[in-house]
């Protein structure tokens, strides 16, 4: 299902293809954690373990949008339909775990004199973490593409729950019928993210270049469902001169009031990968810019909203009403 030229691009970016339409890529912070050099903001905020997180997607190059800030090769998008050859949830999960193991092989310490090895081997790996990493317990269903285009996304989440693994589902919100299906069948992810990177319809149309004609309406329909999920995150990727004005803050505040999510996550745009050709380094906000945005957003939201935590290295800030609710309660 994935053309060879697309596979070549993905492999250069260190993706491991799984089955017909899925993929895994080891997160930068998984690698850092394995060497005891820090953890990701998701561990700091929500308590998941960076070294046991599998960053994956069941629809690697399928998405209806072509967002300016996306660091993926959106020019190679394969549309918004996966086709008929669909892998089962179990096959995807098992394949992702095996792919993750393969990608982490280079972190395994080797016994003996390092100077005599034919290839360089790591000597700084925390081997206890490495052994735990062989069985990831958190699945970040995001990475690339729109995961809700996978027809069995609910069953995938359900299978992860059966295996006592947590799931973070990140969606662009253009398929509210899928979210309704997850609610109706009790297939809710551990945490649902909806990415909302523009605050009004005009900006949305220009920035996201969606193939869906009524995309803004679909997004707002999905936002109206957020409060029905036990843990929901209204996520904004902040981009200088694009969505950080006073007008944007006021408009985002109104959208958030309507959606009533559990948390708001602010993530600074990073000019990396294919995004560098579309948006330069001058569009990356400093953490102090994000703090100012967060404080003004809180003021406009009113109520009990406040800044709960920050991860400056990742340029990430999380807002909520009660810090006690931030950490995931493990079963």
> Do the beta carbons of residue 80 and residue 149 sit within 8 Å?
yes
Dump pLDDT digits (tens) for 168-187: 999 999 999 999 999 999 99
Query: What is the percentage of the chain residues whose pLDDT exceeds 90?
Result: 72
> Do the beta carbons of residue 231 and residue 191 sit within 8 Å?
yes
Contacts of 48 (CB under 8 A, 6+ apart): 42, 137, 138, 166, 168, 328
Task: Give a yes or no: residue 273 inside a domain.
Answer: yes
Dump pLDDT digits (tens) for 202-217: 999 988 888 898 999 9
Q: Which long-range contacts (CB under 8 A, 24 or more apart) does 151-154 make?
A: 151/82, 151/86, 152/86, 152/88, 152/89, 153/58, 153/178, 153/182, 154/178, 154/181, 154/182, 154/185, 154/187
Task: Give a yes or no: residue 179 inside a domain.
Answer: yes
Report the distance separating Cα 157 and Cα 271, nearest Å. 31
Report the distance separating Cα 27 and Cα 72, nearest Å. 14
Per-residue pLDDT for 237 more than 90? Answer: yes
Per-residue pLDDT for 119 more than 60? Answer: no
The overall longest dimension of the chain from CA atoms, in Å, is 64
Report the distance separating Cα 23 and Cα 136, nearest Å. 15
Q: Per the structure, how many domains does the chain have?
A: 1
Q: How confident is the model at residue 273 (pLDDT cuts 50, 70, 90)?
A: low
Per-residue pLDDT for 118 more than 50? Answer: no
Task: Give a yes or no: residue 172 inside a domain.
Answer: yes
Q: Which two tokens stand for residue 298?
A: 């809180």
Domain at 43, CATH number: 3.20.20.70
> Do the beta carbons of residue 40 and residue 52 sit within 8 Å?
no
Task: Give a yes or no: residue 196 inside a domain.
Answer: yes
Task: Give a yes or no: residue 184 inside a domain.
Answer: yes
> Do the beta carbons of residue 189 and residue 157 sit within 8 Å?
yes
First to last CA, the chain: 37
Task: Give a yes or no: residue 118 inside a domain.
Answer: no
Mean pLDDT within 38-47: 95
Dump pLDDT digits (tens) for 298-313: 999 988 999 999 999 9
Quote the pLDDT of residue 160.
97
Domain span at residue 267? 4-107+124-325
φ and ψ of 315, to 5 deg: 50, 60
Task: Give a yes or no: residue 331 inside a domain.
Answer: no
- 329 burial (CB, 10 Å; 0-12 / 13-18 / 19+) is exposed
Quote the pLDDT of residue 117.
46
Task: Give a yes or no: residue 117 inside a domain.
Answer: no
Q: How confident is the model at residue 277 (pLDDT cuts 50, 70, 90)?
A: low
Q: How confident is the model at residue 150 (pLDDT cuts 50, 70, 90)?
A: very high
> Do the beta carbons of residue 148 and residue 80 sit within 8 Å?
no
Per-residue pLDDT for 113 more than 70? Answer: no
Worst-scoring range by mean pLDDT, 150-164, 254-268, 272-286?
Answer: 272-286
- 324 burial (CB, 10 Å; 0-12 / 13-18 / 19+) is exposed
């Amino acid at each position: 299902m994935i053309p060879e030229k697309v596979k070549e691009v993905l492999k250069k970016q260190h993706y491991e293809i799984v089955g017909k339409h899925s993929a895994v890529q080891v997160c930068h912070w998984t690698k850092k954690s394995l060497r005891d050099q820090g953890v990701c903001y998701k561990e700091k905020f929500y308590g998941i373990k960076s070294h046991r997180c599998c960053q994956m997607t069941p629809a690697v190059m399928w998405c209806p949008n072509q967002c300016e800030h996306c660091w993926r090769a959106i020019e190679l998008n394969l549309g918004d339909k996966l086709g008929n050859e669909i892998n089962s949830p179990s096959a995807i999960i098992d394949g992702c775990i095996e792919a993750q193991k393969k990608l982490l092989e280079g972190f395994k310490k080797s016994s003996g004199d390092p100077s005599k090895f034919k290839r360089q081997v790591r000597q700084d790996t925390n081997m206890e973490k490495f052994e735990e990493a062989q069985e990831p317990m958190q699945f970040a269903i995001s990475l690339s593409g729109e995961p809700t285009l996978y027809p069995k996304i609910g069953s995938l989440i359900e299978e992860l729950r059966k295996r006592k693994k947590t799931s973070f589902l990140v969606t662009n919100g253009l398929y509210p019928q899928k979210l309704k299906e997850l609610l109706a069948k009790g297939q809710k992810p551990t945490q649902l993210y909806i990415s909302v990177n523009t605050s009004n319809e005009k900006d949305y149309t220009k920035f996201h270049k969606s193939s869906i004609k009524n995309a803004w309406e679909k997004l707002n329909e999905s936002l109206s469902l957020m409060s029905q999920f036990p843990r929901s995150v209204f996520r904004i990727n902040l981009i200088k001169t694009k969505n950080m004005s006073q007008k944007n803050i006021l408009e985002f505040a109104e959208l958030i009031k309507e959606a009533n999510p559990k948390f708001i996550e602010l993530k600074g745009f990073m000019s990396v990968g294919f995004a560098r050709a579309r948006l330069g380094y001058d569009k990356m906000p400093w953490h102090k810019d994000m703090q100012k945005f967060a404080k003004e957003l809180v003021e406009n939201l009113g109520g009990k909203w406040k800044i709960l935590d920050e991860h400056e290295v990742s340029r990430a800030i999380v807002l909520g009403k009660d810090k006690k609710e931030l950490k995931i309660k493990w079963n």
